[in-house]
Structure 1
Amino acid sequence: MNAVLLVPSQQAPDKYSIKTAPAYSIGLLLSLYLAQGLPVGFLTQALPAILRKNNVSLAAIGGFGLLMAPWALKFLWAPVVDRYFSPQWGQSRSWIIPTQFLTILLLVVISFLEPGALASPVILLSFFIVLFLINLMGATQDIATDGLAVRLLQTLQQHWGNAVQVLGSRLGFIFGGGAVLLLLDLWSWQVVFLLLTGFVVLNSLPILLFREPVWPQQIQVDGVQAAAKSNFQLKKWRKFFAVEFAYFWHNPQMQAWLLVLLTFKLGDSLSGAMVKPMMVDMGFSLANIGLMASMLGSVASVMGALLAAWLMKYMARSTALWWFNLLQILSFLLYAILAWQFEHGYIVVAWQVYCVNAIEQFAGAMALVAMLTLIMDYSRKQQAGSDFTFQVSVLAVTGGGVHIVSGIVAEYWGYSIHFGFCVLLAVLCLWPIFRWRKVSIH
């Protein structure tokens, strides 16, 4: 792989990128986000229910949040993805195609697992390692895909681009999460995972056929010089990192925005980790959780993403973030009410659970579209992948941290207090958004 360094450029995008951005690029990005959303959908939507069904403790289920570590730490290698690639393959394709190929191989490996053997510590650890590698591939691909999105989409297309990101990932949740749970009641584990693998292959075809343009900010350098530059940076990685991301704390507005990133996912991650285990404990089958919760919820999130993209044509982005986040907090309160009914012996009707789950997914998608659009706004074109990835990684670090302890909180306090605490935490996290809006105005 030849090395290519990026430098800022004042040149306009070339004719090819402008020509392909509006329609073709949206379809391409949809296929990419869907392809990486399929395994992530399994990890976030299906895996907690499968583990709980096999009598894994809530604390251990929460501990599986460590699987998301690559998503939280991907900013560490994002500059490498942004800078080093094969000119023949293209800046983004150089990373997307190999990571997709490895993901497909790992999914084939998972298809040979016997889920009934998860009680064995050795099998469970092996399962964890393979899932971790899938997340590592997905996180690396996401860096390249996000960079491609920032470079392809013009300012007026960004909110639709982020709606497509949420749409693709949520469709991945439908098929990788809900459909997997549903089909596991009908077919064998191996057949279901080979079908999932085939779906990933199908959605990898558009990037194979895509002819990526040469972006105006690329400058190819001699391989020897590039290697020397790389070694120099590795020796002074700490200094390089500080220079690379100093942009995010160089003035009061960016410092306020960084605080928003640090707190935005706390309530959502703490709440979401225990939703599927609570449904299992309420007596819902994996098929019902897959069909009515994961799939219906994902459909609701797609609707929320599209509505958010439309509303943001008429709303200030900071206003959208504020109100969409408030709507999501309301859904946490509804979960707390359902949990209280369940723990106190009251009848919990199935449609109530499904509706609350749909409301939470709907509101969460709206808030995510607003957040991702703002993240794109704060990403510099010349290092789009690094900036976008750094911001998303901040969300993942804090969100993943509370995910890990969510099972301990729920097991110790019970579901109702757990979700009530999520409401309180999310309300407190509104203050950084208020502060950032105030600083931005001034």
Structure 2
Amino acid sequence: MTLPNTASDISADNGTRAADAPAPTWRESVAVYLQPRVLIVLFLGFSSGLPLALSGSTLQIWMREVGVDLGTIGLFALVGTPYTLKFLWAPLVDALHVPLFTAAFGRRRGWLVFAQMLLIGSIVLLALTDPARAPFMVALAALLVAATSSTQDIVVDAFRVESLPESEQAAGMAAYVAAYRIGMLVSTAGALVVVSAFESSGLPRPSSWMWGYIVMAGLVLIGTVTALLATEPAQSKQAEAATAADTAIVRVIHAASGAFSEFLARKDAFAALAFVVLFKFTDAFSGTMTAPFVIDLGFSKVDYAAIVKGVGLAATLAGGFAGGFLARRYSLATSLWISGVVQALANLSFSWLAITGVSQWALALAICAENFTSAIGTVIFVAYLSALCQNPLHTATQYALLTALAAVGRTYLSSGAGYVAKATGWPLFFMICVLVAIPSLVLLGWLQRRRHFDGLQMRV
């Protein structure tokens, strides 16, 4: 099982090409994105990115519109707990069969279709709740959305790694990351446009939000159709055949113990895990409050949605390309320094927006700065996580562990952001968001001195 890499792998200590193979022509570079396996991964990336905001920022806007307190909204970050704990059941996804689904579709595709059916049901359940009158039911439904969404992520990551040959891994990773971000934008800006359209048609606000979420549930079917059209990865079939004689318990134990013991045996393993938790914390802390902040300034849902979906999407895609340039131009450690600093400083654009007041061009500039730098940070961070997963026998479980830890900042550490915003006001709050990046940068410098990045290859 090979890990995602590119034709221009970067050596972590000198930033040079890992191999002397000639660079592909532009025709070859474009053609690989049209390969069926890459297109399958692209649509699965969209399906993975779609649910995240439905239990996060979009839900926060819904709650703020109906008058839910900022502190309560901040605490709702805790419903993302499954994203931080998904490594606990990742070995189950690797080892166990889903009755009927596995027999009908195969080991990976069976889990994909099963998880997506549960995800659709969870989003519909969330659509039927009322944030103003039944916050507990909203929290429960959002928790189910996060649980089924994180399960889908586990399967999609494993499917992507196992299904793409070495020559298509780079294009597959790029397509997945881009489609994931587009899926997130559809469930934020797109959802707000749909809800506003229902309101404009005369539906009351509660019904408009309900039908908006039902439309988002229907979009999950894009991933389901993709899974049905895909073919089961050959490596998955081989792994299933190799473990056919083992009992389910033995398969689960082997998948879990090998991944955890191998990673923890690394030098400075716990420091690396702490860095994984903290690197995107500055993004997560500010992101928890971005949507309520914009609404509090007096912008409408339509204004916010138009800017996020338009210039925000363009900035995200541009940031992805910029991240790819960093990955090819600089070493892994240097790329992490650059992306870590710029994603922290981007928060100052919101402080500036809070001081200047309501202005669409100022909002567009702030959203562009956030999306551009966040995309750079995401690409480099994914490259770092992929570089840590070096044993092909445990890639899926190890990757689930690392991405689960990365979600700790978004889920637990960010849960008090609403109370901080209430106590400080918006301009100072976003300045604090810059400062919370300092611990990760201190850890980055310490790990660099300990030669943690030596031997790790950039895989984007």
TM-score (norm 2): 0.81
SS at match of 2:197: coil
CA contact under 8 A between 2:55 and 2:146: conserved in structure 1?
Answer: no
Is 1:33 the counterpart of 2:48 in the alignment? no
SS at match of 2:220: helix
Which sections of structure 1, spanning at least 5 residues, go unmatched?
1-7, 10-19
Equivalent positions of 1:233-252 (< 5 A) are: 233=253, 244-252=259-267
Count of residue pairs the alignment pairs up: 408
Equivalent positions of 1:150-165 (< 5 A) are: 150-153=161-164, 158-165=169-176
**Aligned twin of 2:415:** 404
1:118 alignment partner AA = P
Structure 2: distance between partners of 1:421 and 1:228 = 47
Is 1:50 the counterpart of 2:59 in the alignment? no
Equivalent positions of 1:3-42 (< 5 A) are: 23-42=35-54
Cα RMSD (Å): 2.7
In percent, how many aligned pairs have the same letter? 25
CA contact under 8 A between 2:79 and 2:146: conserved in structure 1?
Answer: yes
Moved more, 279-288 or 37-46: 37-46
**Aligned twin of 2:295:** 280
How big is each residue's C-alpha offset from its partner over 1:242-287, in whole Å with a ceiling of 9 and x where there is no partner?
6541323323254443232122122111111111111111001111
**Aligned twin of 2:109:** 93
SS at match of 2:342: helix
228 and 155 in structure 1: CA distance in 2 versus 1, 3 angstrom threshold:
closer
CA contact under 8 A between 1:173 and 1:295: conserved in structure 2?
Answer: no
Return the structure number with greater helix share.
1
88 and 437 in structure 1: CA distance in 2 versus 1, 3 angstrom threshold:
farther
User: Which of 226, 232, 236 is 1:212 aligned to?
Assistant: 232
Structure 2: distance between partners of 1:229 and 1:207 = 28
**Aligned twin of 2:447:** 436
Structure 1: distance between partners of 2:329 and 2:158 = 26
Equivalent positions of 1:34-433 (< 5 A) are: 34-85=46-97, 86=102, 89-113=105-129, 117-120=130-133, 123-153=134-164, 158-187=169-198, 188-215=208-235, 216-221=238-243, 225-227=246-248, 229=250, 233=253, 244-252=259-267, 254-293=269-308, 296-339=311-354, 341=355, 346-379=356-389, 380-433=391-444
Structure 1 residue 158, shift from structure 2 partner: 4.7
CA contact under 8 A between 2:293 and 2:426: conserved in structure 1?
Answer: yes
Structure 1 residue 294, shift from structure 2 partner: 5.4
Structure 1 residue 110, shift from structure 2 partner: 3.8
Structure 2: distance between partners of 1:53 and 1:247 = 48
How big is each residue's C-alpha offset from its partner over 1:309-340, in whole Å with a ceiling of 9 and x where there is no partner?
2442333233222212221112012222333x
CA contact under 8 A between 1:33 and 1:165: conserved in structure 2?
Answer: yes
Structure 1 residue 211, shift from structure 2 partner: 1.2
Moved more, 329-338 or 290-299: 290-299
How big is each residue's C-alpha offset from its partner over 1:50-80, in whole Å with a ceiling of 9 and x where there is no partner?
2112111111111111111010100111111
440 and 157 in structure 1: CA distance in 2 versus 1, 3 angstrom threshold:
farther
2:272 alignment partner AA = W
Structure 2: distance between partners of 1:213 and 1:118 = 42
Structure 1: distance between partners of 2:436 and 2:373 = 17
SS at match of 1:404: coil
TM-score (norm 1): 0.84
Structure 2: distance between partners of 1:102 and 1:61 = 25
Structure 2: distance between partners of 1:401 and 1:251 = 26
2:370 alignment partner AA = E
CA contact under 8 A between 1:160 and 1:309: conserved in structure 2?
Answer: no
Structure 2: distance between partners of 1:433 and 1:63 = 29
CA contact under 8 A between 2:112 and 2:156: conserved in structure 1?
Answer: yes
Structure 1 residue 87, shift from structure 2 partner: 6.7
